[in-house]
Structures are given as C-alpha cells and as structure tokens.
Amino acid sequence: MSIKTAVKEHFHQSPIADHWAYFFPDESVNGIDRSIFTDNGLEIRKFNSCDLDNCAKLFKKVFSSAPWYDDWKSLEQARNYLGELIKNPAFEGFVACEGSSIVAVCLGHNRSWWAGQEFFVDEFFVENKMQGNGIGTKLLAEISNYLTCQNYVRLTLLTNKEIPAEAFYLKNGFYNNIERTVMVKEL
C-alpha cells in the first residue's frame, strides 16, 4: 500500500474524514465529487465541516439584516445553531463560492416521505450584496439537478410570507401548499 493510499484510507475511515477534503479539495471523497457545478468563477459544491465558520458568519450577517432582522447576538450562537443542523444524520448541505468566499448556502436534510425521498431545506441564504444577481437561482437549480439524480422527488421549505424570499421561491418553482399551515406554541 502506498503512503498516499494509507493516508487517504486513514482520512476516509476515521472521525476526521472531512480533513481529506481540506487537504485534497480537488479530489473526490468516497467516490463522490464534492464539486457539483463550476462556471464563470462560481463553484457550487457539497458543504463540509470546514465551511461551518464561514457559513455561520454569512448566516448571522444575512439574517440580522432586512427583511428578517433576527437578533443573532453572537457568532457563537449562529455557529451552534448551524452545528446542530449538520449533526443531523440525514444532513446534506451545499455552498456556492466565488473564489475563496462562500456567497450562498443551502443546509437541509433528507426525509423518507410516503411519496418518496424529500429534501427539507432548513436554511437557504445568499450574501446580501449578491441577492438579485441569480446566484440563489443557480444554487437552487444545481441542487435540484443533483437531488433528482439521487432520486429525490421533492424540495420543501418554510419561509415568511410577503417578503422577497417568498417571491424568490415562487419564481423558482415552489408553491404555497394551501392544505398546510405552520403551527407554533410559545413556551
């Protein structure tokens, strides 16, 4: 066994498997190419744990601004929240990068539904100054293509009514399911 093969096997078979992607970003991991799409400086690829800090910074920035004005008090709070999402055994995430900067993120999880495999989008966000430039649409399109190839049948998400995000999702093929409502109970 060569040294490279031994190191590769160590990284793939140990709890630090995501380190392989950090040290060898241009190669596939377990036979899966992390890069899904590349064009004109925009790369769409699978999320890996090395992305967590940059995603948390972008998440806090986007959702602390209009139209959400969420009160994320610290980067640590945002990091903990996203960290909880990625610990889900059914987690799957995607990032869009321009150069070395993450500019859009989709984090979600697989659900086995009666109609088939469903991808539930827990969080989807695009850098504030890049919203309206087609990056979110491109990310959704590439995720849809990828998931279709994986035999998923549906994308599902929640968003607020009457804000630009609702119009964005409607424009990208989502619809409001009038048979469902969101129920919340304050504790």
Do 42 and 133 lie in one domain? The reply is: yes
Q: Is the pLDDT of residue 33 over 80?
A: no
Q: What percent of the chain has pLDDT over 90?
A: 74
pTM: 0.81
pLDDT for residue 4: 53
Across 109-145, b (16+ Cβ under 10 Å) vs e yields bbeeeeeeebbbbbbbbbbeeebeeebbebbbebbee
Q: Quick check: is 40 in a domain?
A: yes
Residue 20 predicted with pLDDT over 50: no
In a domain, 42, yes or no: yes
Task: Give the pLDDT of residue 36.
Answer: 85
Domain that holds residue 9: 1-28
- Calculate the CA 104 to chain-centre distance: 8
How high is the mean pLDDT of the chain? 87
Residue 105 · residue 94 · CB < 8 Å:
yes
Inside any domain, residue 55: yes
- Say if 177 falls within a structural domain: no
Q: What does DSSP assign to residue 102?
A: E
Q: Tell whether the model's pLDDT for residue 172 goes beyond 50.
A: yes
- The helix (run of H) or strand (run of E) holding residue 141 is helix 135-149
Same domain for 15 and 63 = no
Q: Are 95 and 86 in contact (CB under 8 A)?
A: no
Does residue 20 sit in the same domain as residue 69?
no
